[in-house]
Structure formats: structure tokens, C-alpha cells
Structure 1
Amino acid sequence: MSAGATWTVSPMNFTSSATNSASSATNSAATSTNSARSSTSSAPVASTSVLSLGRPWIRAVAAGLLLAASLPPWGFWPLGVVGLALWVELLTEANYWRRAGLSALVSVSWLGPATVWMADLTLVGWPLALIGFAAMHAVAGALVPPDHRRQVAFPAAFALAELLRWTWPFGGVPLATMAMAQVSSPLGPSARIGGPLLLTALTAVAGVTLAAILAARLRPAAVGAALVAASWLAAIVAPGSEPIDVNGNPDEDAGVIVAAVQGGGPQNTRADVCEQRAVFERHLNTTLQQVSTPVDLVVWPEDVVHPSPDTAITPARCDQPLLTDSEARAALSDLARELDTVLIVGFFERTADRDANRNYAAAYNSEGVPVDTYDKVQLVPFGEYVPLRSSAERFSDELPARDVRPGPSDEPAVLDTPLGPLGVAISWEIFFDHRARSAVGGGGRVLLNPTNGSSYWLTVVQTQQIASSRLRAIETDRWVVQAAPTGFSAVITPEGDVIERTGISESRVVQATVELRRGDTLAVRLGAWPVAVAAVLTLSLALGLGRVLTRFRPGRKL
């Protein structure tokens, strides 16, 4: 261009250039906005709910204490839903380790008070158990995404962590569960469909729903409420059982008179050979003095018949002669004949080879003849058998000298009697839904729970056992009869209602008319697998969806 050239600008060219520039800026802004929205979809969402007020660690402790307070012996079930709502709002933390740590703190604050009875049995084992439980819940909390997906992922992760705690290690510890806490809530009937795992997941859904309501997240609140309502309605119309007579014929008016015998005595005691006769005689005398006749079925507690061999020599420290095997069996036969009843009694004795112990229930007919036995299958770790015995004996001098030999797990948990097959879950087994399924799935017309909680400190275990028996009644649609030497003994309807219960240490008989029933609920037929699979798929979908959104968000170059 020459030095004398003149600059000219066309108005049209200027306008076009400005328009293109503005359009480019607009597109750039739109791209930035879309990118920001996409990244926000997988980022932590700051909660504006009242549940987010205060320091996270304080809220974690509060959540755990609320969960504990929802359990027996305290037992105000709405607190469990509030505790879970607090927990899910803690999981907005972006850092995996913070989510894990806060979840572990919730776990310890919940299960510490709810399992404090363990400290009396093993001061070393209790904190180790709490650490193990906390690790399971920490992993579950870390897996839950911190964004809106946590509303779907949390119930699934929580249910899976609880399933693991109930089954592992050493058979699991299904105590202090949210399922037993919610047995009195409107969610309780859902156990008839999917057992305790479904009830646990739905309780978490209720917690998520409450959190959404308090944060004005209307869509997830509506979805959660609809899911809870649908489950409740499904439980109402789901198939169950029907009353039958002794011959197995349908009969709405049929029933049998059952007596659960509690001999009474001190609580927080340990087994002592010198006390075997006293325990036996307390139950014998209570039966003779308090059972009203006619009676069709009398149930004694677990292992209150603990005889010594006929040749055993009474130790000098004992105040009275040992209870011998032949003496105990003769007295039981006489009792069944005198009452003209089917008698179920709990035995504890050495095996024939003398290498182990047996814990079993024996059935006598009205003629005093033993007709069947059921050996306990689900044993108490470190109480009835000792895993890793060589290591465990270094930390406790109260371990059993020999293990209890479990019964065959592949056989139905029933006693065949003149009243038909009677389902049995001995003591600890009532906490395990699969043992109740074995009993009822094997034809059990009623579910018997002979138990013995006399060695436990406080009443935490005993009250949780009543809650668990109520849960089993709902799941199986059966009457449950629980008999304990020092409490609690109870009769429970298929709806989970306790119609009568004893107190601690009192000598008393609970007597009532109960129905024999047949037919299986969905929980008995299907077990925990459908809910467990659904939880795995739900959690996997929630985690996988986040990766998909992150990978394919607008503006990202692949």
C-alpha cells in the first residue's frame, strides 16, 4: 500500500464484523454455561437444610445417637428416620475420606450405646467389634456420591453395609438393626415382602425423603414418599398364611392353648454346675403351680435342663446334689403326662463322644415320650464356639472349654409333634431371618423361641430380642412364642403385636390361645436376595451414571 493511500470503512462491513464478534462471544458464553452445568451435576451440592447446621462431626455424633435412641430399650422409632436424614446430608462432603470418617463416627455413636452389653462379656472384643462395624459403614459412606445421586445411592449402600454386618464375620451380628427399630412404624409390614433388608432400605429412603423435604427438594421428596407408600400398600395385599386346625385343615376358629414358662431368678449370671438343679426346679415348680389346664403346648426356655451324668460326683462346694440325667428325663416325662400336653424343653449336655456340647430342644408328647429333637445351628461366636481359639484365649479367661456342635443346617428347623411341625429358632437364632425361614419354610405352624438371656448385663439384648421376635412374626406371618428363664418371655401375633410379656427375673407363665398357620410370605419364599441384588444394581447405576455424565459432558473433548 502506498503512503498516499486513503482508509475507507464501509458501514455494512463494520456491522457484519461486529455481529460476528458478538455471536462468537455468545456461543462461548453458552458453552461455558453448559460446561458449568455439567460439572455441577457431579459436584457436591451444598445443603441449605436445617440438617446442615453445625459442625459436621457434631452432626455425625447426633445422627448416631438418634439411631441408637430409636432402638430398644429406648425405642422411639421416628428418631431413626431423623438420624438417617442427618447422615445422608453429611455425605455432601467432596472428599472420600471425610465421608468415610463421618460415616464411621455415625456408626460408633449408634452401635456403641446399642451394643454396650458386649463390654460385660468381653472388654477387648467390644471395641474391636465397633471398629469392624464402623469400617463397613465408612466404606458405604465413601461410596455414596456427594451430589444429588446420594439420594438414590445412600439407601442401597446402607442396606448392603448392614447385610454385611449381619452375616460376616463369624456368622455376623444382626443386633441393633434399623429393621428391629422400625418394627412398630408404618414401614414394619414391608418385612412381609422383603424381610429385614427391605425394611432397612425403606427406612433409609424415608430418611432421604425427610432430608429432601427439609431442604425443599420437592421432586426427590415426592419420589421417596411414593416409594414408601407403594411398599406399604404392597405389604397389605401380599400373600400370607391361613389358620388351620391340628389336622391341617383350614379353620378360622381353630387355635391351641400355649404356655411359655419363665422360672425366674437372678440376672447377669454365669453357668454353674451347682445351680443346675435350682434352675430346673424353678421351672418345674412354676409349671406345676401356674400353668392352667387344659393346655396343648408348654414351652420351656433354652438349656434350663442341664443334667450331669448319673455317675457324676457332686462337688463339695455345692449346696445340693447335682441334677442327674435320668432324674431330669423322668421328671419331664411325668410333667408331660400330668398336664396331658406337648412339652418343649431346652437341653444342654455333652455329646455322646464327649468332645463337644449339644444345645437342643426336645419335644415330649402327652404320654411323656420324647418324639423329636432340634439342635441349634446358628451358634454364638465366642459364647458357644470359639473362632481362632488359640489367639482368643490370650485375651479372655471366660471362653467355653469346648465348643457346641451345631446341628445340620440343611434340615428344616422344626420339631415333629402331635400338633404338627413346630418351627424352632433357639435363642440367638431369632436374630437371623434365614433361621426363621428354615423353620416356616419347613412347614412350621408356629415359631418357638426358647432362649436364655440370664447371662447378659442390663436389658438391651432382651428388649432387642423381643423386637426381633416381632420382626420374625411379621416376616413369616406366624405366631411367635418366646420363653426365657429370667425374661423376657412373650406371645406375639403374626402382625407383630405383643399380647403379653413378662418382666425381668420374675417367676411367671404367659398363657394364650394361638393359631396354627400354613402358607409362606414372599419374605419366606424369596429371602434377602431380591433386595440385595436390587441394592447392588442401584448403587452401581448411581456410581456409573456419574462417570458417564463426567465423561460425556458438553464441551469436553474426547
Structure 2
Amino acid sequence: MTTLDREEVRATAVARVTPRPLPLRVAVPMAVAAGLALLAAFPPYGVWPLAPAGVALLAAAAHRRRLRAGAGLGFLTGVALFAPLLEWTNLHTGYVPWVLLSLLQAGYLALLGVATAWVSPLVDRYRWAWPAITGVLWVGQEALRDRTPFGGFPWGRLAFTQDTSPLLRLAALGGAPLVTFAVALTGGLLVTLAWRRWAPPRHAEQWRPVAGLLAALVAVLGVGLAVPVGVRGGGEQVTVAIVQGNVPRLGLDFNAQRQAVLNNHVDATLTLAERVAAGTQRRPDLVVWPENSSDIDPLRYPGAADRISQAADAIGAPILVGAVLLGPGEGQVRNAGLLWRPTSGPDLQQLYTKRHPVPFAEYVPLRTIARMVSSEVDRVRSDFVPGTEPGVLDAGPAVLGDVICFEVAYDGVVRDTVTGGAQLLVVQTNNATFDVAEARQQLAMVRLRAVEHGRAALMASTVGVSGFVSPDGRVTGATGFNTAAVVIRQMQLGDGRTPATLVGVWPEVALAALAVAALAGAAVLRRRREVAPG
């Protein structure tokens, strides 16, 4: 037999044992539809069942494909998801940063497409494992995307689509990674169910796999509903006021009117104090102002300090101020939450400096190179210096777990406040440079954190959306967007710990390790397939 004959026999044998993927003319629309389904699952649309549907569509499209095709299909899904999801990033910075960020995030779904194609032999051999493999691959992809580059960008995690879903309750057991796994597992069950022959089973025993998959789908949702959620420990209540002062105009130059923004928050607090004095409103134990409510450093400028003291003295309660502080070095600033007490002023022992500044927004890595891409980076004149300590602030009536803006998306930043003793979660944010979609996506993250740690939580924004979140994820007192508002609620403090708080990062580590094991197992099967016909 000639070499050519042997190669032909080998190709024929491989073709017989290698099932074919879906036609590319079908797979490409499915990949795009996967991204759009995932998009519709996020706020402001909030159709959470579409998240597992999107997972299933991508899994089916990339199954049995060559690695390059899997990457391309995953990238299409990523672009269809992230380009519209992150559209709010181009409102005031132009198209270049938005396009680059969207393409970068889509690149991680391209890696997921490669991984999905790679594990196809494993899935074909152990079809029952397809749902779990799909789940761990998604967790592994998100674990990588949440950390790289420059500390990662966790926006668009599957877990953040489930703010109104029964699966949200799983956050109390394993945090956002477990919720992501459950969503992707559900998608894996859907694709396993749909991958069967279209002809209906003719015998009773042929219905058993179908019935098993349907039962598993119901079981996943049932487990979510069965997880108890609520305040862990504690029981005392505090009255908290959120002051949403609004800004003169939206956009990157909102802080060109720094004095006006500060005055808005002071005046709203003074009006609240008048209502308290008149007996029409209960006096709050704590007032929370949002991020950037004082971009004039009150520790350096007496005029700003006097105005904040006027508000704190009038309301007779400590105010958590979102302030931009100068220093510690020349040309450096800090994004901080600073407790301002009535009669005594700033409490420098209760000061939180944002630990995770946003690259290219609050500091510019590789500034010379970044300037070649977009001159907008020069709007960041001073780099924000990261803090080193968790945002655990003793306000007197309650110990606060303070995180600032995008930090709510990072698991460890929030958890560190709870393990540090926080009884109430506070998210100070400034959405003046974005839009209502971004604000609602952020509020969905606050809902997950409240359930995850069994803590009541609140989000205070300069322009909205602000609101209170109970430990079971319900939102009350939500404000409108681009408007001034003051909302007050009684909040129950917690001091216990959920299983998710106790185990921390380990569920994500375990699930990501299983993803690596699945990739390794597929490599073994691929190697055996290559040598089998020889």
C-alpha cells in the first residue's frame, strides 16, 4: 500500500469516528443570536431566562468545530453581547475606547469558543457531562476575564443577569461564580436536550433521557428556590438616608461644576433637616452621599469643609461623603469615602480609599501608548492612587462595608468588607458619565451582593439610580435617572456569615480547576483519536 493509500484510509477512518458539526450557515446566526440573547438577559431588559438560552446557542454552534472556527463563533457572540451592553462607555469619550473595550471582552468569549470546540470529543463520549462541562468552562472564562488585564473587567458576568431569577439565591452558597455555573449548567442542559434527534422517541425507555434532562432543569431552579436568604445575625435597625443631589449636566465635564455638585448635596441635606425639624420626617441615623459628591477636597479647602459641616450639623447625623482627596504624592489623588460627623467634622480614622481604580478612567497605564489610541486619556490629568485596606467604616450606628462604583463587580473587594465586620453594604457611585442602562446593571450587582453576604445594601448615585436592597435581593426606594432625590429607609443590620462569605474564592477555584481538567481530558481523547487509525 502506498503512502497516498494509507493517508486516504486514515482520513476515511477519522471521518467515520468524527461526528460533524452544525453547518456553518446555521452556526454563524446561532452565535450572533447567542450574544443577543445574553444581552437581553441583562438590565435594562432583564429577561433572565434568555441567559441559559444564549449559553446553549453558543455551545451548539461551537460544538465539533475546528478551533479557529470555534474562536470565530465565540468572538461573534462576544461582539453581539458586549458592543451594545457597553454602549454607555461611548457617550462622552467617543467610539474608539468603546470599540476597543468591546473587542477585548469579546476576545474572552473567543477563548470560550475555542475551549468549547476543544472539549467536543469529551462531550461526544460522555454526553451526560455536557451540562457540567459547559458550566465550568463559563466559570473559567469569567475567572480569567475578571482578572486580566490591569485587574480585569467583570462587567457582563452571567451571574449579573439573574437579579430577578430563582438562581440569584445560589449566591448565598457560592457567590457570583456559583450563579454563573448554574446559569451555564442550565444552558448545557438545554443544548443536550436539543442535540438529540428531532424524531420523537418511539418507545417508553427512549423517553427516559429526555425526562431526565427536563427533571434536571426543574431541579436546578428548585435548588435555587430552596436556598434560604435573609439577614444573617444582627437584628438592630438603623434609619438611612440616601441623598442624590444630581449634577448640572451629564458628561465627562460634570466635575467642571464641582461647587455646584457639592451645593446640590448640601442643599438637599439641609432640606431634609428642615423636614426633620418640622416633625414630618424621622431623623436618619446615617446619611450617604454618592461618589464625587465633593470633588473639592474638604481636607484642603475650608470652604468645602464648612458646607459639609453645615449639612452634618443640621441633620444631626454622620454623613458618608464621596470625596476626591489630593495626594498623597504630587499629581496624585484618591477616590474616597469619608465619614463626616456632626459638630466634630471629618473622622480621618473612618476613611476608605478606593482599592480598585478603573484603568484608563481613573488612572492611565501605558499613558504614552494610550494617547496614540485616543487623546481622551489626557482628561485623566492625575492618576488615582489605590487604597490598601477594605472599606470597613464604623459610623457609630452601624459598621459600613463601603465600596466605590465598579468595585461592586469584584467579588473579593466586597467580601473583604463583610469579613472585616461590615453590618451594612454601601455602594457609592457616580453615573453622570454613563446612562440609565449602566446604572441598572450596577444595581443588579448590588442585589447579588446583598444575597451573597446576607446583608442589607444600598447604592447612592449622583444622578441615579439609587436605592435600597434587602438581603433577599428586593429593591425599594429606587430613584429616577438624572434627577435630584432623597430617599429614607429603615435597614436591618447583620453580623452573621453566609456559606458564600465563609468559603470565599474556593468555589470559583474548584470550578475553574474542573474546567482545566475537562480541557486536559479532551486533549487525551484527541491524542487517542489521532493515533487510533494508524
TM-score (norm 1): 0.81
- 1:44 — aligned with what? 19
Q: Does 1:360 align with 2:331?
A: no
- 2:97 — aligned with what? 125
2:120 to 121, 146, 157: 146
Tell me the CA shift for residue 36 of structure 1. Answer: 8.4
1:486 to 457, 460, 463: 463
Tell me the CA shift for residue 220 of structure 1. Answer: 8.0
Q: Does 1:285 align with 2:267?
A: yes
CA distance in 2, matches of 1:276, 1:99: 49
- 1:55 — aligned with what? 26
CA distance in 2, matches of 1:58, 1:552: 30
- 1:162 — aligned with what? 142
Q: How do 1:415-494 and structure 2 match up within 5 A? A: 415-456=393-434, 458-494=435-471
CA distance in 2, matches of 1:53, 1:182: 31
Counterpart residue identity of residue 406, structure 2? W
Counterpart residue identity of residue 64, structure 2? E
Asked if structure 1 preserves the Cα contact closer than 8 Å seen for 2:166 and 2:221, the reply is no
Q: How do 1:92-107 and structure 2 match up within 5 A? A: 92-107=63-78
Deviations 1:137-190 (A, max 9, x none): 222222222353554432222221122112111111111221111121111111
Inter-CA distance 142–53: structure 2 relative to 1 (3 Å threshold): closer
CA distance in 1, matches of 2:37, 2:493: 38
C-alpha RMSD of the superposition: 3.0
CA distance in 1, matches of 2:27, 2:228: 42
- Partner SS for 1:505: coil
Inter-CA distance 464–272: structure 2 relative to 1 (3 Å threshold): closer
Tell me the CA shift for residue 478 of structure 1. Answer: 0.8
Asked if structure 2 preserves the Cα contact closer than 8 Å seen for 1:260 and 1:511, the reply is yes
Structure 1 window deviating more from structure 2 (81-90 vs 519-528): it is 519-528
Q: How do 1:170-319 and structure 2 match up within 5 A? A: 170-216=150-196, 219=209, 222=212, 226=216, 229=219, 233=223, 236-237=226-227, 241-244=231-234, 251=235, 254-266=236-248, 268-271=250-253, 274-290=256-272, 292-307=281-296
Asked if structure 1 preserves the Cα contact closer than 8 Å seen for 2:297 and 2:323, the reply is no
Counterpart residue identity of residue 486, structure 2? V
| Structure 1 unmatched ranges of 5 or more | 1-34, 245-250, 311-323
Structure 1 window deviating more from structure 2 (91-100 vs 210-219): it is 210-219
Inter-CA distance 293–151: structure 2 relative to 1 (3 Å threshold): closer
Counterpart residue identity of residue 280, structure 1? L
Counterpart residue identity of residue 212, structure 2? A
CA distance in 2, matches of 1:109, 1:406: 33
- 2:276 — aligned with what? none
Tell me the CA shift for residue 37 of structure 1. Answer: 12
Deviations 1:464-503 (A, max 9, x none): 1111111111111111111111111111111111112101
Counterpart residue identity of residue 481, structure 1? L
Aligned length: 494
CA distance in 2, matches of 1:151, 1:273: 48
1:390 to 351, 363, 368: 368
- 1:346 — aligned with what? 322
Q: Does 1:518 align with 2:490?
A: no
Structure showing greater Rg: 1
- 1:14 — aligned with what? none
Deviations 1:59-89 (A, max 9, x none): 1111111111111122111111211111111
CA distance in 2, matches of 1:334, 1:293: 19
- Partner SS for 1:424: strand
- 2:200 — aligned with what? none
Asked if structure 1 preserves the Cα contact closer than 8 Å seen for 2:244 and 2:460, the reply is yes
Asked if structure 2 preserves the Cα contact closer than 8 Å seen for 1:346 and 1:362, the reply is yes
- Partner SS for 1:73: coil
Counterpart residue identity of residue 369, structure 2? S
Asked if structure 2 preserves the Cα contact closer than 8 Å seen for 1:209 and 1:225, the reply is no
Q: Does 1:331 align with 2:307?
A: yes
Inter-CA distance 131–557: structure 2 relative to 1 (3 Å threshold): closer
Asked if structure 1 preserves the Cα contact closer than 8 Å seen for 2:468 and 2:477, the reply is yes
Tell me the CA shift for residue 513 of structure 1. Answer: 0.5
- Partner SS for 2:325: strand
Structure 1 window deviating more from structure 2 (535-544 vs 135-144): it is 535-544
CA distance in 2, matches of 1:418, 1:305: 22
CA distance in 1, matches of 2:65, 2:298: 65
CA distance in 2, matches of 1:59, 1:552: 28
- 1:378 — aligned with what? 356
- 2:49 — aligned with what? 78
CA distance in 2, matches of 1:259, 1:440: 21
Asked if structure 2 preserves the Cα contact closer than 8 Å seen for 1:166 and 1:172, the reply is yes
Asked if structure 1 preserves the Cα contact closer than 8 Å seen for 2:455 and 2:470, the reply is yes
Higher helix share: 2
Tell me the CA shift for residue 122 of structure 1. Answer: 4.7
Asked if structure 1 preserves the Cα contact closer than 8 Å seen for 2:41 and 2:50, the reply is yes
Tell me the CA shift for residue 236 of structure 1. Answer: 4.2
Inter-CA distance 187–516: structure 2 relative to 1 (3 Å threshold): same
Tell me the CA shift for residue 387 of structure 1. Answer: 0.7
Tell me the CA shift for residue 228 of structure 1. Answer: 7.4
Deviations 1:357-414 (A, max 9, x none): 1111111234443222111111011111001011112233332111011111xx3321
CA distance in 1, matches of 2:21, 2:136: 22
- Partner SS for 1:261: strand
TM-score (norm 2): 0.84
Asked if structure 2 preserves the Cα contact closer than 8 Å seen for 1:266 and 1:505, the reply is no
Counterpart residue identity of residue 332, structure 1? I
- 2:40 — aligned with what? 69
Counterpart residue identity of residue 492, structure 1? V
Asked if structure 2 preserves the Cα contact closer than 8 Å seen for 1:360 and 1:375, the reply is yes
1:403 to 356, 367, 383: 383
Inter-CA distance 539–154: structure 2 relative to 1 (3 Å threshold): farther
Deviations 1:176-205 (A, max 9, x none): 221111121111111111111111121111
Tell me the CA shift for residue 355 of structure 1. Answer: 2.6
Inter-CA distance 193–421: structure 2 relative to 1 (3 Å threshold): same
Asked if structure 2 preserves the Cα contact closer than 8 Å seen for 1:447 and 1:478, the reply is yes
Inter-CA distance 242–532: structure 2 relative to 1 (3 Å threshold): closer
| Structure 2 unmatched ranges of 5 or more | 1-11, 125-129, 198-207, 274-280
- 1:89 — aligned with what? 60
- Partner SS for 2:323: strand
Deviations 1:309-356 (A, max 9, x none): 89xxxxxxxxxxxxx821221222232222221211111132154330
Inter-CA distance 357–37: structure 2 relative to 1 (3 Å threshold): closer
Asked if structure 1 preserves the Cα contact closer than 8 Å seen for 2:14 and 2:533, the reply is no
CA distance in 1, matches of 2:219, 2:272: 45
Counterpart residue identity of residue 222, structure 1? G
CA distance in 2, matches of 1:221, 1:397: 58
- Partner SS for 1:398: helix
Counterpart residue identity of residue 158, structure 1? W
